[in-house]
Amino acid sequence: MKRYLLSLRLFWTTALSAQLEYRFNFLIELIAMLGTLLGSVFILSLFFSHGNKIGDWTWEAALVVQGVYTLLDGITNTFLKPNLSEIVNYVREGTLDFVLLKPIDSQFWLSTRTISPSGLPEICLGFSLIIWSSNRVSNGIHFDHIAIFIISLFCAIIILYSFWFLIASTTIWFVKTWNATEVLRAVLASGRYPVAAYPPSLRLFFTLVLPVAFLTTVPAQMILGNINLLKLFTSLLFSIIFFNLSRYFWKFALRFYTSASS
Amino acid sequence: MRKSKHIQVENLSKIYRVADKKPGLKGTFSHFFNRSTNNVEAVKGVNFSIEAGEIVGFLGANGAGKTTILKMLCGLIHPTNGYINVAGFSPQRRQNAFLKEITLVMGQKQQLIWDLPPMDSFQVNAAVYGILEMESKNIIFELAEMLDIGNELYRPVRKLSLGQRMKAELLASLIHSPSVLFLDEPTLGLDVNAQSRVRGFLTEYNKRTNATILLTSHYMADITTLCPRILCVHEGQIIYDGDLDSLSSRLNPNKKIIFEVRSDVSKESFSKYGKIQEINKGFISLLVSRNKVNFIVNQLLSDFEIVDLEIKDPPIDELIGDIFSNGKVL
């Protein structure tokens, strides 16, 4: 465990130093970050200008969903995207060989090797939005709501990560899976709005097939005090199932790894 | 000195499934919709064993199956059939204890972080292998001294020359003091000086640590200077396993004697000693059966006034080239 923590510290510090090596590029990245932030605020302002209800969600409550989505998007951009979109290059160029020969879990290496600060402003914005809007809906936030919210948010991150990693694992056979990852991101963008905003058939699809509902809607419901233990339990169960599935599937995929030719 | 560990390979084979595509747009469409695959037998029933501390060279043309064998020994590729034991482990299980015993260096791929100095990559590797900071520093500086690199450790990898980068790659792969080294063309693209420094380092490392080294290379000099024993791979099979000298004597039963005589002598007077290859003024080159070399040289020295004399083997590159075109050792 200590070895993994120490490795993680070095993974992230080297990733940041490698990015700081190109000062101009880092500056551009900072400007791009501000751009993304302004974009998110603009989308929010569209919400404000309408002010109508989505299903049985008031726009303030819907704003909590938007906050959770922004937070998840920030986490995706900081932790998931820089790592999981690289897996295809590891396979294509054959540098996965080096990873597989290290006495460390290869899934851990591929999922945490690098980090990008580009999602940090979104994470801050997401958090502020969740706190501000949920405060307006329920007049003060309860500690137990926050605790349950954190659990369901953690489950959401695990589900999102596991789903993405599952798709990335298929790289072993198909080598290029960029398209599949883009489709996944587009579907996850539907988590911007409460599941109630969609027609019943899509609602079912987003709950049972692609668990988008558990990514944004469920955590939002938890912090708003609509605590439904069945949903929380399902969320936990989904995260455990998907995470284990991703681990099992990765190990299975590796049996078919043929390594790039030299 | 380490305890005796070895590599044991029995009846090893690997079949790849490869998709073939016909050229042109039509071929592309039929490849997209109806992909036909072929089974290619890359390695066919290979057997060999290697003792601890040995340096063994894999020789073979491109696509002969050298890299596939090497990658199966590392545990990167699962064999279709057969038994492998490396340092007491089954490689394909890739247990941590096994991974700490081996290393793979690939001349055409790199693991160093491109934008940072090699030192940063070394620290990451040390942490991953669970080596304490002080211990890793000692190892790094000892290896750096052997490899003759110093300031380069603190310069971004992208600014290093190919030779310096290869040395740093070697260092990064040896930080955990492995007992088995798999080297896939470690001198690829290096200039003559850098090649010989890498070779010198490997010899020294083998002497100091008694590590077992398996090496593939297209440069004959790598094989002749480093490897007392070679394995020739041809179309997935091992067609020769033994030392280089006996390979060249089996391939070519003759040696070449080149000498210079003080006075002009007629061509006929040499024909009784061996097959005349060339006569140019006083310079004569004769092909003589290996087991008669001593006798013939003595005779020549007593019969003629010799200024200079040299005994040579035919160039090894040519001999090896013959093996790969014939597919067998005579």
Examine residue B43 and state whether it is found in any structural domain, yes or no.
no
Examine residue B149 and state whether it is found in any structural domain, yes or no.
yes
Per residue in A1-51, pLDDT tens? 889 999 999 999 999 998 887 778 778 877 887 787 788 778 767 766 666
Same domain, B198 and B297: no
d(CA B202, CA B216): 13
Same domain, B125 and B223: yes
Top residue of B74, B120, B124 to mutate, by most chain A CBs within 10 Å, is: B124
CA-CA-CA-CA torsion for A26, A31, A35, A36, nearest 10 degrees? Answer: 20
Instruction: For chain B, list residues with pLDDT below 70.
Output: 1-5, 314-319, 322, 327-330
Examine residue B8 and state whether it is found in any structural domain, yes or no.
no
Among B77, B99, B116, select the one facing A102 at the smallest CB separation. Answer: B99
| CATH number of the domain encompassing residue B289 | 3.30.70.1150
The alpha-carbon gap from A126 to the nearest alpha carbon of chain B, in Å, equals 32
Same domain, B128 and B273: no
Q: Are B45 and B82 in contact (CB under 8 A)?
A: yes
Contacting residues of A for B125, CB less than 8 Å apart: 102
Same domain, B101 and B134: yes
| CATH number of the domain encompassing residue B76 | 3.40.50.300
DSSP 8-state code for residue A145: H
For A51-80, where are the alpha helices, taking DSSP H only? 59-75
Same domain, B274 and B150: no
Contacts of A204 (CB under 8 A, 6+ apart): none
Give ∠ CA B79-B81-B87 in degrees, rounded to 5: 60
Contacting residues of A for B104, CB less than 8 Å apart: 97-98, 101
Contacting residues of B for A10, CB less than 8 Å apart: 123-124, 127
**Strand-pair partners of B259:** B284, B309
- pLDDT at residue B121, rounded to an integer: 95
Sign of CA dihedral B78, B81, B84, B90: positive
CA-CA-CA-CA torsion for A162, A8, A16, A178, nearest 10 degrees? Answer: -20
Same domain, B214 and B283: no
Q: Do A95 and B109 touch (CB under 8 A)?
A: yes
- In this prediction, what percent of chain A has a pLDDT beyond 70? 92
Same domain, B107 and B57: yes
The alpha-carbon gap from B127 to the nearest alpha carbon of chain A, in Å, equals 5
- pLDDT at residue A42, rounded to an integer: 80
B164: its two tokens: 């310096």
Contacting residues of A for B39, CB less than 8 Å apart: none
HSE-up of residue B106 (Cα within 13 Å, Cβ side):
22
Q: Do A21 and B116 touch (CB under 8 A)?
A: yes
The alpha-carbon gap from B77 to the nearest alpha carbon of chain A, in Å, equals 6
Q: What is the mean pLDDT of residues A159-188?
A: 80
Q: Do B128 and A103 touch (CB under 8 A)?
A: yes
Q: Do B113 and A14 touch (CB under 8 A)?
A: yes
Examine residue B260 and state whether it is found in any structural domain, yes or no.
yes
Same domain, B177 and B278: no
Same domain, B181 and B159: yes
Contacting residues of B for A101, CB less than 8 Å apart: 74-76, 94, 99, 102-104
d(CA A73, CA A60): 20
Same domain, B217 and B292: no
Please name the residue of chain B whose CA is at the shortest distance from the CA of residue A6: B127
Q: Do A97 and B75 touch (CB under 8 A)?
A: no
Same domain, B206 and B290: no
Examine residue B329 and state whether it is found in any structural domain, yes or no.
no
- Which residue, of B206, B224, B248, is where some domain finishes? B248
Among B78, B113, B185, select the one facing A18 at the smallest CB separation. Answer: B113
Q: Do B111 and A261 touch (CB under 8 A)?
A: no
The alpha-carbon gap from B203 to the nearest alpha carbon of chain A, in Å, equals 24
Give ∠ CA B49-B50-B53 in degrees, rounded to 5: 170
CA-CA-CA-CA torsion for B314, B317, B318, B323, nearest 10 degrees? Answer: 120
d(CA B267, CA B198): 47
Among A18, A97, A255, select the one facing B115 at the smallest CB separation. Answer: A18
For this complex, say whether ipTM is above 0.85: no
- pLDDT at residue B2, rounded to an integer: 42
**Strand-pair partners of B280:** B283
Same domain, B231 and B142: yes
The alpha-carbon gap from B128 to the nearest alpha carbon of chain A, in Å, equals 6
Local confidence band at A55 (pLDDT 50, 70, 90 cut-offs): low
- pLDDT at residue A1, rounded to an integer: 82
Contacting residues of B for A18, CB less than 8 Å apart: 113-116
Q: Determine whether A69 is exposed, middle or buried from the number of CB atoms within 10 Å of its CB (0-12, 13-18, 19+).
A: buried
Q: Do A7 and B124 touch (CB under 8 A)?
A: yes
d(CA A215, CA A7): 29
Lowest mean pLDDT among A59-68, A121-130, A171-180, A218-227: A171-180
The alpha-carbon gap from B32 to the nearest alpha carbon of chain A, in Å, equals 12
Per residue in A103-116, pLDDT tens? 999 999 999 999 98
Please name the residue of chain B whose CA is at the shortest distance from the CA of residue A10: B124
Residue B99 structural domain:
53-81+90-248
d(CA A80, CA A223): 24
Q: How many CB pairs under 8 A join A and B?
A: 82
Contacts of B66 (CB under 8 A, 6+ apart): B58, B59, B60, B184, B216, B233
In whole angstroms, how far apart are CA A129 and each of A62, A66, A117, A202? 11, 8, 20, 27
Q: Do A262 and B106 touch (CB under 8 A)?
A: yes
Is the pLDDT assigned to residue A122 strictly greater than 70?
A: yes
**How many separate domains does chain B show?**
2
Q: How far is CA B181 from the centre of its chain?
A: 12
Examine residue B24 and state whether it is found in any structural domain, yes or no.
no
**Higher-pLDDT residue of A201, B327:** A201
Size of chain B in residues? 330
Q: Are A177 and A170 in contact (CB under 8 A)?
A: yes
Q: Strand locations in chain B, DSSP E?
A: 7-19, 37-50, 55-59, 81-86, 102-106, 180-184, 212-216, 229-234, 237-243, 254-261, 275-280, 283-289, 306-312
Q: What is the mean pLDDT of residues A228-253?
A: 93
